[in-house]
């Protein structure tokens, strides 16, 4: 914890305020996307919300990397980007499969 405080102390005050305000704003956006993913009336809305949550999480990790001065967090961000992409592809495949089944049942 002491190391984190030392690293944050290296960041000049205006940038520290900027980073903190960006993180708070992104956290609010993440909460709104979570609500949309839970309450979304259609599966497409839920899929879009999950994809947006992944993108916002990547931006949060990148911002923390800049704030803390840790380069390895960008590697974690890239790994998370790949995982988020795969999750969206899988959700899309499931959604298309369910849609095709519903179309066949209607005929």
Q: What is the model's pLDDT at position 2?
A: 52
* CB 29, CB 57: distance < 8 Å: no
Q: What is the model's pLDDT at position 9?
A: 53
User: pTM of the predicted model, to two decimals?
Assistant: 0.77
Closest CA to 23 of 64, 51, 58: 64
SS3 for 56-106 is: HHHHHHHHHHHHHCCCHHHHHHHHHHHHHHHHHHHHHHHHHHHHHHHHHHH
Q: How many CB atoms lie within 10 A of CB 53?
A: 20
Which carries the bigger pLDDT value, residue 92 or residue 7?
A: 92
SS3 82: helix
Q: What is the model's pLDDT at position 61?
A: 94
Residue 95 pLDDT exceeds 70: yes
Mean local confidence (pLDDT), 28-32:
97
Residue 47 pLDDT exceeds 70: yes
Banded pLDDT at 38 (limits 50, 70, 90): very high
Mean local confidence (pLDDT), 55-75:
91
Return the percentage of the chain with pLDDT > 70, whole number.
89
Please provide the average confidence, as pLDDT, over all residues in the chain: 86
Report in angstroms the alpha-carbon separations of 69 from 33, 48, 66, 98, 100.
28, 31, 5, 45, 48
């Amino acid at each position: 914890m002491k190391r984190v405080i030392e690293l944050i102390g290296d960041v000049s005050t205006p940038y520290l305020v900027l980073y903190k305000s960006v993180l708070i704003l992104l956290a609010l956006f993440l909460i709104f996307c979570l609500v949309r993913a839970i309450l979304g009336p259609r599966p497409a809305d839920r899929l879009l919300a999950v994809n947006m949550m992944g993108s916002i999480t990547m931006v949060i990790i990148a911002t923390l990397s800049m704030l803390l001065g840790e380069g390895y967090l960008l590697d974690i961000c890239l790994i998370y980007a790949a995982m988020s992409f795969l999750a969206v592809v899988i959700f899309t495949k499931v959604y298309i499969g369910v849609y095709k089944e519903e179309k066949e049942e209607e005929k």
